[in-house]
Structure 1
Amino acid sequence: MQGLDIGYMWGLVPVILGYVPLTLGMALAGMACALVLACLLAVERVARVPVLDRAVVLFISFFRGTPLLVQLFLFYYGLPRLVPFLVNIDGVTAAVIGLTLHFSAYMAESIRAAILGVDRSQWEAARAVGMSEGVMMTRIILPQAARIAAPTLVNYFIDMVKSTSLAFTLGVTEMMGAAQKEAAGSFLYFEAFLVVAVIYWGIVEAFSFLQRRLEHRLGRAYSR
């Protein structure tokens, strides 16, 4: 029985680490866009605008009900057939679009629940002083809902970081893609994937630590 090639694994670490910025960049871009879209979807779900609400429900149902990998293939291979100017779309752009739409559907429901979780007295007080619905939502309700939703949203970001590994199926050489290429050249698949798994683990643990710190700080601020 052949043991692990530790020397190969150590040599592979800096190679994989070189693709961490691309992995995190895709995750951060996807998170920023998904957060904006999710807020808009959540506000609409609370407001329940006729016709538009049904479209939003359909959007959320589709992106929560189909696998992310299928969605990535649709955006990368299918979308250019329907929208000609996207024929030259690259894998990174398709991956970010896929991450944005997929996770915004989940995040919208979390933000909606957080909005509804804000005490009704806050809504009534804002209306009592003559605030419009838009001003009330942006200045009173959403800031309080953000505190409620923050831990869940960080969890979605962590999931998004891990989901960037699917981008290699679109030809993107990120961490998983780099590991796949190195393994194909050395035939040491177990060692290569073990290295990338440990690096992903380390990244997730770092963000989990930040999440715990955030929860502690938010809890302390609102316990006074």
Structure 2
Amino acid sequence: MDLDKLMGYMPALLEGARNTILLTVISVFFGAILGLFLALGRLSKNKFIDRICWFYIWLFRGTPLLMQLFFIYYALPNIHPSLTLPGQWIPALLALALNSAAYLAEIIRAAIQSIDKGQMEAAKALGMSYGQAMRRVIVPQSYRRLIPPVGNELIALLKDSSLVAMIAMTELMKVTNQISTRESNAAIYIPAAILFLAMTTFFTVIFEKLEKKYSVYE
């Protein structure tokens, strides 16, 4: 494949890269919201809630992401037609967000538990309930400690998002596979790999800057 022909495929590759970034960022956003509730559930004194949240985390961390994706996209419609999700975007987002939530829940839980217990005692001394103390004192202080591990999770999910090509979603890996098959030439994987490196480097730099700005050691 000559350079001119390769450059001709760049718009399609860039479009695929854009979809990859959107898929990753949206999945991590919703995964973080669900992960926060799961983390609080694991810290709950209610044993039933704790066990439910533990089971969710155990299930999604203990099974392959590809299996979860196939279950949502292929198995759910077989269980009942009403469970069919439209298109490829929604099943892909759901699978990645649910998977990400399980990992982010443990990250958030560890960050919350790292806050000195005296903070909770001080909040209670001021008349706050457990829920108020968590919402106003403990959780806000844990944000800084979350930056490095959340950055790592986002970058890991960015690479894992290539799995959604298996359900024919048009992202960077799917576009690359289509071009490679059509041209019978694997050279297209070189610019695709460069784009993945560029995306991971971009997010790495962003999170490094955030970590320095909001360092817990300042």
Could you tell me the TM-score, scaled by structure 1's length? 0.92
State yes or no: 1:50 paired with 2:47: yes
**Partner residue, 2:175:** 178
**Partner residue, 1:201:** 197
**Deviation by residue 1:174-194 (Cα, 9 ceiling, x = unmatched):** 1111011111110112x1112
Correspondences of 1:90-129 after superposition (within 5 Å) = 90-129=87-126
State yes or no: 1:26 paired with 2:36: no
Per the TM alignment, residue 14 of structure 1 is displaced from its structure 2 partner at its CA by 2.6
**Partner residue, 2:140:** 143
Which shows bigger deviation, 102-111 or 42-51? Answer: 42-51
Unaligned runs of 5+ in 1: none
**Deviation by residue 1:46-77 (Cα, 9 ceiling, x = unmatched):** 11422222121111111111110111000000
**Partner residue, 1:16:** 13
Q: Of residues 150, 155, 163 in structure 1, which corresponds to 2:152?
A: 155
Amino acid at match of 1:215: E
**RMSD of aligned alpha carbons:** 1.5
Instruction: Quote the Cα distance in structure 1 between the aligned partners of 2:177 and 2:74.
Output: 21
Instruction: Quote the Cα distance in structure 2 between the aligned partners of 1:84 and 1:49.
Output: 36
Q: Of residues 163, 168, 172 in structure 2, which corresponds to 1:166?
A: 163
Flag the 1:62–1:88 CA change in 2: closer, same or farther, 3 A: closer
Per the TM alignment, residue 80 of structure 1 is displaced from its structure 2 partner at its CA by 2.1
Per the TM alignment, residue 169 of structure 1 is displaced from its structure 2 partner at its CA by 0.5
Tell me the SS of whatever aligns to 2:169.
Answer: coil
Per the TM alignment, residue 127 of structure 1 is displaced from its structure 2 partner at its CA by 0.6
Flag the 1:75–1:145 CA change in 2: closer, same or farther, 3 A: same
Unaligned runs of 5+ in 2: none
Tell me the SS of whatever aligns to 1:52.
Answer: helix
Residues matched between the structures, number: 218
Instruction: Quote the Cα distance in structure 2 between the aligned partners of 1:193 and 1:72.
Output: 24
After TM superposition, the runs of 4+ consecutive aligned structure 1 residues lying more than 4 A away are: none
Q: Identity rate of aligned residues, in percent?
A: 32
Is the 8 Å Cα contact of residues 176 and 192 (structure 2) preserved in structure 1?
A: yes
Amino acid at match of 2:198: G
**Deviation by residue 1:72-113 (Cα, 9 ceiling, x = unmatched):** 000000112335323243221111111111111111111101
Tell me the SS of whatever aligns to 1:19.
Answer: helix
**Partner residue, 1:212:** 208
